[in-house]
Chain A
Amino acid sequence: MDGVIILEILQQLANGLALGSAYALIALGYTMVYGIIQLINFAHGEFFMIGAYAGVLAIKAGLPLYAAFPAAITAGALISAGVEKIAYKPLRKKNSGRLAALITAIGISIFLQNVIFLIPGADLIGLGTKNPMGIEKYVFGSVEISGTKVYIFLISIILMIIFIYIVHFTKSGKAMRAVSADRDTAMLMGIDPDRIISFTFALGGALAGAAGLLFALDQNQVSNFMGLMPGLKAFIAAVIGGIGSIPRAMAGGLILGLMETLAVVLGFSQFKDAFAFIFLIIILILKPAGIFAMARKEKV
């Protein structure tokens, strides 16, 4: 009996961490874009979806997993930077304000969800037995944990480490932080903010694309609406962490993933989506700047 409970807890923990780390990957794109141009990019979930399609189509074409990830990442980066260039940049140049950009983001989101219908049968593609992650299980003594969840968690962590390296140690990453702190002064350094904004979108889109493929492998399918819920959840993760901050977005993602899994464990699996939104509402009422802002304030 005890063994079963431990197994259940470990399996759920793995589920929660896998889900949470995937949310964290998506949330990073939200938080970075917000940090640099103060836009809540509601089309971000669709970059996740496009990345998933690219990865799944690569796998269906017979490419191995290590080639499918670059495909998902590249597709996510290209669509993200492309949307920025076509839709957001012209608005920025005309100083049309934050609301116009926000509505545009929602419009892009709906457009990308529906443009998939142009290709018959593309709105839902199953991987079937081609899923390279299969149904492996890891056995630790008497405990079994699903391999896919472990992979999702590990790949997410590796991607986040690479991402942190880029943001902190490369010239473009430093320039990104400089532009988000003070765009005018960054220009005085010789930085072209438009290039850095493109770079930011590409980086966020790349992470979303990778997360999309992870989700697709877990669900064994892709669909044109698959970005909607994870996109909203990741937005919630970024907000509960405190939007604009990279480590807090990651923490927010993990917390949300674990919370949602907890809801399932407690028997509310039908309500797990509602759970995330209730959590968001509670955070917004109690601490609109994010849960970590509260912890910080108490210290001072």
Chain B
Amino acid sequence: MLKLTGLHISYGKISAVKGIDLEVAPGEIVTLIGSNGAGKTSILKSISGIIPAVSGSILFEGREIKNMKAYEVTALGIIHVPEGRGIFPNLTAMENLEMGGYLKKNAFVRDKIDEVFQLFPRLKERRKQRAGTFSGGEQQMLAIGRGLVADPRMMLLDEPSLGLAPIIVQNIFNIIRQLNEEKKITILLVEQNANLALRVSRRGYILETGSMVKDGLSSSLMNDDGVRKAYLGG
């Protein structure tokens, strides 16, 4: 479904991502693991068109999307839920959800928002409040919910566990699994929490300072000595 080949990303003269390959098949949850600054977020941003790739290719269903604008990529059904959640703090929860459906028809957006409210009842309670007043967990729910309103075929989730209490993280990860199984959304998940990410995903990639060092089935990565030492706390 998504295929990155030889992807290079740089900020000025500093290269952040040095020619990586990555593939996601339809229906999969694939995780991209790496420590802070490894280049995970840069990869997601270049897929969604927020930052340009220097070289390499990004194919989505066989189509080159490398030079597309971010709003054109969104129209293809690739929905990026950014790191730090990226909600619009000055808009209400409801308005945030409506923005998720910016490219869709109003009636469709209303139905989708109802679905999101079933998934996250908390958002329905707080729908008229400014999103800036939300707790971290609520903001993450809102960011994922907003992505769902766009009716994604593929979701790029950037660190959904960041800064959240363990019980909320568990809840978010259950939802991610549910979206994949019930709504058939293909997911590329970027995480620092390797333990959780490998448990929820089918396959994983390990990124270190801009290069892929390992990839494989998540179950085998979890038993890999190197991965265990570096990312799973021994």
Q: Which positions in A face B, CB cutoff 8 Å?
A: 171, 174-175, 177-178, 180-182, 184-192
CA distance A188 to B49 in the complex (A): 9
Query: Which residues of B have CB within 8 Å of A171?
Result: 98, 102
Nearest Cβ on chain A to B199's Cβ, whole angstroms: 27
CB within 8 A of A182: which of B49, B88, B150? B88
In contact, A190 and B88 (Cβ under 8 angstroms): no
Does B216 sit at the interface, judged by CB under 8 A? no
| Known A-B contacts A184-B70, A188-B79; A178 and B89 likewise in contact (beta carbons under 8 Å) | no
Give the interface centre of A180, A184, A191 by most chain B CB atoms within 10 Å: A184
CA distance A278 to B95 in the complex (A): 41
Identify 28 residue pairs between A and B in the complex whose beta-carbon atoms are under 8 Å apart, listed by A's number. Answer: A171-B98, A171-B102, A174-B98, A175-B102, A177-B88, A177-B91, A177-B95, A178-B88, A178-B91, A181-B90, A184-B70, A184-B82, A185-B82, A185-B86, A186-B88, A186-B99, A187-B49, A187-B50, A187-B70, A187-B71, A188-B50, A188-B70, A188-B74, A188-B86, A189-B99, A189-B100, A191-B71, A192-B69
CB within 8 A of B103: which of A180, A182, A190? A190
Give the interface centre of B50, B79, B88, B89 by most chain A CB atoms within 10 Å: B88
Nearest B residue to A179, CB-CB: B88
Nearest Cβ on chain A to B103's Cβ, whole angstroms: 4
| Known A-B contacts A187-B71, A189-B99; A177 and B90 likewise in contact (beta carbons under 8 Å) | yes
In contact, B102 and A189 (Cβ under 8 angstroms): yes
Does B31 sit at the interface, judged by CB under 8 A? no
Nearest Cβ on chain B to A179's Cβ, whole angstroms: 9
In contact, B89 and A174 (Cβ under 8 angstroms): no
Q: Mark B136-150, 1 if CB is under 8 A from A, else 0.
A: 000000000010001
In contact, A181 and B91 (Cβ under 8 angstroms): yes
Does B80 sit at the interface, judged by CB under 8 A? yes
Does B75 sit at the interface, judged by CB under 8 A? yes
Q: Mark B51-76, 1 if CB is under 8 A from A, else 0.
A: 00000000000000000011100110
Does B48 sit at the interface, judged by CB under 8 A? yes
Give the interface centre of B49, B99, B150 by most chain A CB atoms within 10 Å: B99
CB within 8 A of B74: which of A177, A181, A189? A189
CA distance A180 to B90 in the complex (A): 10
CA distance A181 to B86 in the complex (A): 10
CA distance A188 to B96 in the complex (A): 12
In contact, B74 and A190 (Cβ under 8 angstroms): yes
CA distance A178 to B88 in the complex (A): 6
Nearest Cβ on chain B to A189's Cβ, whole angstroms: 5
CA distance A174 to B100 in the complex (A): 11
Nearest B residue to A188, CB-CB: B80
Query: Which residues of A have CB within 8 Å of B99?
Result: 174-175, 178, 186, 189, 191
Nearest Cβ on chain B to A32's Cβ, whole angstroms: 13
Q: A175-B102, A189-B100 are in contact. List 8 more A-B contacts (CB 8 A).
A: A171-B102, A184-B50, A184-B82, A185-B82, A188-B70, A189-B103, A189-B150, A190-B150
CA distance A248 to B112 in the complex (A): 35
Nearest Cβ on chain B to A296's Cβ, whole angstroms: 14
Query: Which residues of A have CB within 8 Å of B146?
Result: 189
Nearest A residue to B98, CB-CB: A174
Query: Which residues of A have CB within 8 Å of B69?
Result: 187, 192
CA distance A184 to B63 in the complex (A): 23
Pairs of residues from A and B, 6 with the lowest C-beta to C-beta distance, nearest first: A187-B70, A190-B103, A190-B74, A185-B86, A181-B88, A189-B102
Give the interface centre of B80, B102, B150 by most chain A CB atoms within 10 Å: B102
Nearest B residue to A245, CB-CB: B90
Query: Which residues of B have CB within 8 Å of A190?
Result: 71, 74-75, 102-103, 150
Nearest Cβ on chain A to B85's Cβ, whole angstroms: 9
Nearest B residue to A185, CB-CB: B86
Query: Which residues of A have CB within 8 Å of B80?
Result: 188
Please report which residues of chain B, range 85-143, place their CB below 8 angstroms from some CB of chain A when the two chains form the complex.
86-91, 95, 98-100, 102-103
